Amino acid sequence: MTIDCYITLGTERETVYPVERLIDDLDSASVDKAVIAPSDREIAVLNRKGNSRILASAADFPDRLIPACTVNPWFGGEAVEELRHAAGEGAQMFVLNPALQGYLINDTLTDPVIETAAETGLPVYVHTGSHLYGAPWQLVDTALRHPDAVFIMGHSGATDYWNDVPAAGSYSDNIYLEGSFARPFSFKSHLDAAGIWRGIMGSAAPRNSLVFEWEQYRKELSAAEYEPVFGATIASLLPGKGQWR
């Protein structure tokens, strides 16, 4: 089973990505499934609209698409309520974007939604790499304060913090590394430090080309040796677990 961990199924700006085109790209790249997430505006403010759209798209292609959800922690109790609603409707991953949503990931502002994600069994995908708001060590601090939560370090700190990842990724065992925007040879060195089972493949399409990213990663990482990276690890973290294997 091969799974792309992060796709923006967007409708505007540089993330316009119709679901039919995504399915075609998955077929072209010989990828079985993809985790789909809301677009930027939906991550920042239109949380319910984005979550509902993603859940509906995944329901149309249940054998190919896995829905992620998002809430902005600034909405407080409303954010917690929406996260519980999305999880109850079938969302399988929770997305936080500190730079887009406006906070440091280790600010206590995020505690209620991270605790809710842990309670509902959703792994927390955190966009990292943006200057100031996306430092891997901020995520380490968060992970140590929330040992019951599972975190995915989106983009592995690329580009601003890529050199922090080997140490930061090994520091807390509830952090997994995702490779979009990290060059394949750099990501391989991160895996050497953190362990193969801590790595997860993601293309971040359509900001990157899904087909190209998978081609390049397969050239650098052998499918046999790095099978966990290409699907098994993310499958083990999703609430449905067995159904994604």
Q: For 190-234, write each residue's pLDDT tens digit.
A: 888 888 999 999 999 999 999 999 999 999 998 888 999 999 999
Q: How confident is the model at residue 32 (pLDDT cuts 50, 70, 90)?
A: very high
Q: Give the integer Cα–Cα distance in Å for 53 and 11.
A: 10
Q: Amino acid identity of 133?
A: Y
Q: Amino acid identity of 59?
A: A
Cβ–Cβ < 8 Å for 66, 244? yes
Q: Amino acid identity of 33?
A: K
pLDDT by residue (tens digit) across 134-151? 888 899 999 999 999 999
Asked, as a colleague might, if the bond just before 159 is cis with ω within 30 of 0, I would say yes
